[in-house]
Amino acid sequence: MNDFKNIKSLTLDELKTWLKSVGEKPFRAEQVQNWLFCNQVQSVEEMVNISPSLQAKLSEAFQIHSFKEISRDESVDGTIKWLFQTHDNHYIETVMIPKSKRFSVCVSTQIGCAMKCTFCRTAKMGFIRNLEAGEILEEIIRVNWYLKEAKILNNEGNQAEVTNIIFMGMGEPLNNLENVHRTCCTLHNQKLFNMGRKRMTISTSGIVPKIKELVDRNTPCCLAVSLNSTSNEQRSAVMPVNRIWPIEALLEATDEYTRRTDNHVTFEFVLIKGLTCTKEAAKELIRICAPRRCKVNAIALNDGDDPNLQAPSAEEIDRFLEIVRAADVQITMRNPRGRDILAACGQLAYKQGTVESC
């Protein structure tokens, strides 16, 4: 379907331009976006204050939704992973992680990924294409549909809704910055999702020029960076991006981000047995983090396909955390969620040609 047009990808101005081009009043754009993003309707017919003739024009020109739900897997810890088929027959995964008051959604931003991180299953798919803003927004809307259909309540006893977005699913978000920026702006818009800047986090493997572009664009979001190793040699071995932008260049970019946005950066750090979960690595992490306004979010490696990389033992993790905390570096150990349904960090991937997660 080459003429596929996702209406949720359009900005308000683009929608106004289209309305004028089909002889309609531009103010209808606000109404249409209200139905799409506030009411999160499932069909054009539900837009009851829109005339039948405009409804027909909208249906002819656009698709309101672009995904087909292929499967939904629920973990014993409440994490849910969706597999969606896109309009051009590719597959992406979206994960919802419920935790007390929060309903966080980890969204995919690309189909596959080009970054080739060795610990990541998505990397094995290679890069297929970027997701449009409308597709990323649909991931979130579909989770809201589920929460509503399942009558899931939040802590206050009200209908639960997605509260936080993490751009950490399949793909490198900064390689799709235009669409990720549009998505964040729509989510941040007070008249639409009204989601605060602090509730959206873009996680990057470390594409230095794009971190600077993110600051220039003033994209409403927080920044997390997958640091994962403190030595260039080790980082380059697991994250080829480091061969282009080594740790020093990355830290220069994150320092600039902190200076210009007045926000701290979160460093994601995967603990790998004998590699990044050692006494030496802990000391190096302190050298990097102690002088900076940052937080470290550590997670133990998921045992994956690579027999050369293993998760550390609980004792090794405790030793590592103890050293880092003794230096007053803020470090939290993230509990892996959804491991049993392959929804944890680095586990998202889809085998093209089947409908099974690998």
Contact residues for ligand SF4, defined by CB under 6 A: 113, 115-117, 120, 122-123, 170-172, 205, 346
The DSSP bridge partners found for residue 6 are 63
What is d(CA 242, CA 256) in angstroms, rounded to the nearest whole number? 18
DSSP 228-293: --SSHHHHHHH-THHHHS-HHHHHHHHHHHHHHH---EEEEEEE-TTTTSSHHHHHHHHHHHTTSS
CB of 205 to ligand SF4, least distance (A): 4
CB of 67 to ligand SF4, least distance (A): 19
Tell me the backbone φ, ψ of residue 173, rounded to 5 degrees.
-55, -35
* Helices marked H in 158-225: 177-188, 208-217
Of 32 and 113, nearer to ligand SF4 (C-beta) is 113
DSSP E strands, the chain: 68-74, 80-85, 91-99, 102-106, 110-112, 127-130, 164-167, 200-204, 222-226, 265-271, 294-300, 331-333
Of 105 and 120, nearer to ligand SF4 (C-beta) is 120
What is d(CA 309, CA 119) in angstroms, rounded to the nearest whole number? 8
CB of 3 to ligand SF4, least distance (A): 30
What is d(CA 275, CA 133) in angstroms, rounded to the nearest whole number? 37
Of 115 and 202, nearer to ligand SF4 (C-beta) is 115
What is d(CA 241, CA 134) in angstroms, rounded to the nearest whole number? 28
CB of 197 to ligand SF4, least distance (A): 22
Of 114 and 327, nearer to ligand SF4 (C-beta) is 114
- The helix/strand/coil state of 92 is strand
CB of 241 to ligand SF4, least distance (A): 7
Residue 74 near residue 132 (C-beta atoms within 8 A) = no
Residues 6+ apart with CB under 8 A from 274: 310, 312
Of 221 and 329, nearer to ligand SF4 (C-beta) is 221
In the numeric block, which tokens belong to residue 167? 């751009």
Active site residues: 93, 345
CB of 125 to ligand SF4, least distance (A): 9
